[in-house]
Structure 1
Amino acid sequence: MSLNKSLFVILAVLAIVLVMVAHETSAYDCLSGKFSGPCWAWDGEQCRRLCIEEGHVSGHCSASLKCWCEGC
């Protein structure tokens, strides 16, 4: 097996593992049903409070300006 093929296989396996890990960690988060509008960094406490009121563990604002609840 040439060096290029070996490197490709290693990178492909690493990419698959990263996708699986990212999916596993995001599987436990869901969008808040009560939070409206963009979720800026200073809205974090409101996002957490609303998520807890919805029955989730906590919540956080994402880079996409959405309020994600943890422990869904």
Structure 2
Amino acid sequence: MMQIKFLFAFLAVLTIVLVMVAHETSAYDCLSGKFSGPCWAWDGEQCRRLCIEEGHVSGHCSASLKCWCEGC
């Protein structure tokens, strides 16, 4: 029984840490205002270029097919 409680406590702490890390990294990204349509892997260069034109550091396509600018 003690092992199950320890496992749940460990998983809870791990979940909190992962959520904090995900929030911290996403706090510096924002959606591109110029990129339109889905951002496929082969659109990465266009996404990066548009983000730089918008004044951001760089950009990348996400798994959700959106162009995210870095350094917002």
Q: Which runs of 4+ in 1 moved over 3 A?
A: none
Aligned-pair identity in percent equals: 90
TM-score by length of 1: 0.97
- How many pairs are equivalent? 72
SS at match of 2:33: coil
TM-score by length of 2: 0.97
Distance 1:7 1:36 in 2: 45
Cα RMSD, aligned residues only: 0.9
Q: Which runs of 5+ in 1 are unaligned?
A: none
Distance 1:18 1:69 in 2: 22
Distance 1:39 1:58 in 2: 14
What are the superposed Cα offsets for residues 22-60 of structure 1, whole Å, 9 maximum, x if unpaired? Answer: 000010000000000000011000000000000000000
